[in-house]
A and B are shown apart, each in its own frame.
Chain A
Amino acid sequence: MEIDREDGRTPNQLRPLACSRNILHRPHGSASWSQGDTKVLAAVYGPKAGTKKNENPEKACFELIWKPKSGQIGKAEKEYEMILKRTIQSICVLTVNPNTTTSVIIQVVHDDGSLLPCAINAACAALVDAGIPMKHLAVAICCCLADNGYVVLDPNKLEEKKMTAFAYLVFPNTTLSVLPEGSSEGEPVEHGLITSVTYGVMSVDDYFLCVENGRAATASLSAFIRKNFQQGQRDSSKSG
């Protein structure tokens, strides 16, 4: 039976998305991303010279600072920083400007569930705004597993607490590939998972169910991103 959600959304329906870029003056790139009430601000300070202590000088290095809404930086924030850093490192081209450090600062404005995916989307938007060379964009989604086996997308805080388990999944965004369909080997590129973090126990096929539903949602998310960025281009070219 269909499960009903407080705010009346269908299981696969996302909360209203809003993304605005170039909102701060000091950083080289900035973006604010909100999914429903969860709102995150991301700022990127462009490639600065020199890499940190244990980093590899031949590659560009990323430094992540996660500013929680309140309270000091605990272990959870450190884990988010690590996940975000590795995700961003995998989608950016690292060999373009070696021996540089790009610092990405994530400021949580309000947390109403699926905070990490919202932060990843915000970080991608900010990186694009800063003009950091990237292979492809990343699209993040949170899939919640209800106790009766249904998968719910983009839960808010209450739903996240109520559900038995949830998974943060990050996919590459769907590319309007110009190459003929059969050229990419095996499954098309955007079916691969960049990052997956799960909380709570779920069976193996439940996990695959989450991945399927999450992947289906990436199409709408990528479309939103593409439209938002192009529309952004037109304004800046007009005002530029």
Chain B
Amino acid sequence: MGLPDSSQDLSSEMEVDAFRKIFPLRFFERHLSESLRPDGRPLGKARDTIVNLGLVSSADGSALAKIGYTTMLAAIRMEVMTPSTDSPDEGCIAVEFHMPPICSPTVRPGRPADAAPVISKRLLDTISSCNMIDLKELCLVSGKAAWMGYLDIYCLDADGALFDAALLSAVAAFSNLQIPVVALNDNGRIVAITGEEKQDNASITEKEAVNKERRKLTLKNIPFSLTCILHKNYILADPTAEEESIMDTLVTVVLDSSDQIVSFNKSGGNALAHTSAIKSCVELAKKRGNELKQILGEMDVD
């Protein structure tokens, strides 16, 4: 990156933020040489992660995931659909990733951000390819009615590594999902049996609750993702938005609970990924996967 070398004499007496603004790459490389980052994290360490569940009362399952400043709110609404003929006893999941104008200065209200459809497509591919959810569990009445899960993820604050936080919030939302108890009423429509409706609902007797027991989805194969930056021969885990804007080689590794690669995405960037770099990225992702598993594990306990 051919920045003029005249910065040698300039940088000595300039104070830090001016230097950071004018020569961002030199500022970062000076940190990297001591294998440190401006916010004090070592290269391989991810930012602290917080997940809390069940925030949105109007959704069937919701979760908020915060990795450093990047904040994602995911919510799932369950609706009833008639399953397609070729897979009569399978429900389906619709994933939509939104970047509202509040999350970053580059997003304009009118036009959606161009990264949003890419991330929602990747989320849908990841969730379906690692078959974390057995779509058969979403079936209500085979051939007639099945669940359609609308998963909407809102980015509340975009500070780098959006895909990791989005995937984490989606997984947490699925773990928090409570499928409403429903029954088939007389004219063939699925109707929710809510607590207080029970008494005055005359026709309750002959319509048995279709899914009395299956209230929680069993999540078999949980995917965890880590995004790293390759720069010369450094590997930075979990970059912030500033680091992403300066060094543009991003590698996203998604591993599932049995450490298989669900997806290995590197698109462009001027640093080439040699096999050694790929190996260390996968190692970092494994370590990160255990951390996240541990965080999600605490969630399920309470």
Q: Do chains A and B touch in the complex (CB under 8 A)?
A: yes
Interface residues of A (CB under 8 A from B): 53-54, 74-76, 78-79, 82-83, 85-90, 95, 165, 167, 172, 186-187, 189, 191-204, 207-208, 211
Q: Is B299 an interface residue, CB under 8 A from the partner?
A: no
Is A203 touching B261 in the complex (CB atoms < 8 A)? yes
CB distance B114 to A83 under 8 Å? no
A83 and B268 in contact (CB under 8 A), knowing A76-B121, A201-B262, A202-B261?
Answer: yes
Restricting to B254-271, which residues have a CB under 8 Å from any CB of A? 256, 259-270
Q: Is the CB of B122 within 8 A of A79?
A: yes
**B118: chain A residues within 8 A (beta carbon):** 75, 78-79, 82
Q: Report whether A187 and B274 are in contact in the complex, using a CB–CB cutoff of 8 Å.
A: yes
Residue ID in chain B nearest A56 by CB atoms: B245
Q: Does B22 contact A (CB under 8 A)?
A: no
From residue B172, how far is it (CB to closest CB) to chain A in Å?
21
Q: How far is the CA of A197 from the CA of B265 in the complex (A)?
A: 5
The answer to whether B256 and A201 have CB atoms under 8 Å apart is: yes
Looking at the assembled complex, report how far the CB atom of B273 sits from the nearest CB atom of chain A, in whole angstroms. Answer: 4
A75 and B275: CB pair below 8 A? Answer: no
Task: Across the interface, name the chain A residue whose C-beta is closest to B129.
Answer: A200
**Sample of 13 A–B contacts (CB below 8 Å):** A75-B117, A75-B118, A78-B118, A78-B121, A82-B114, A86-B268, A89-B248, A90-B268, A172-B272, A192-B272, A193-B274, A197-B263, A197-B267
Known: A75-B117, A198-B261. 8 other contacts (CB 8 A): A53-B106, A82-B115, A186-B274, A189-B272, A193-B272, A194-B266, A195-B266, A201-B256
| CB interface residues, B 110-127, toward A, < 8 Å | 114-115, 117-118, 120-122, 124-125
**Top 6 A-B residue pairs of the complex, sorted by shortest distance between their CB atoms:** A192-B272, A86-B268, A75-B121, A78-B117, A90-B268, A193-B273
In the complex, the answer to whether B272 meets A89 with C-beta atoms within 8 Å is: no
Size bracket of the B interface: 35 or more
Chain B residue contacts of A191, Cβ below 8 A? 274-275
CB-CB under 8 A from B261, the residues of chain A are 198, 201-204, 207
Restricting to B88-145, which residues have a CB under 8 Å from any CB of A? 106, 108, 114-115, 117-118, 120-122, 124-125, 129-130
Give B contacts to A, CB under 8 Å.
2, 106, 108, 114-115, 117-118, 120-122, 124-125, 129-130, 248-249, 256, 259-270, 272-276, 278, 282
State how many angstroms separate the Cβ of A139 from the closest Cβ of chain B.
13
Cβ B273 vs Cβ A201 within 8 A: no
Measured between beta carbons, the chain B residues less than 8 angstroms from A85 are 268
Q: In the assembled complex, how far is the CB of residue A168 from the closest CB belonging to chain B, in whole angstroms?
A: 10
Q: Return the contact of B265 from the options A76, A90, A196 (Cβ within 8 A).
A: A196
CB pair B270 A90 closer than 8 Å: yes
In the complex, are the beta carbons of B121 and A79 less than 8 A apart? yes
Q: Within the assembled complex, what's the spacing in Å between the Cα atoms of A202 and B282? A: 13
Contact residue among A75, A87, A193, A199 (Cβ-Cβ distance under 8 Å from B278): A193
Residue of B nearest to A87 (CB): B268
Most buried by A among B106, B114, B118, B268: B268
A172 proximity list for chain B (CB < 8 A): 272
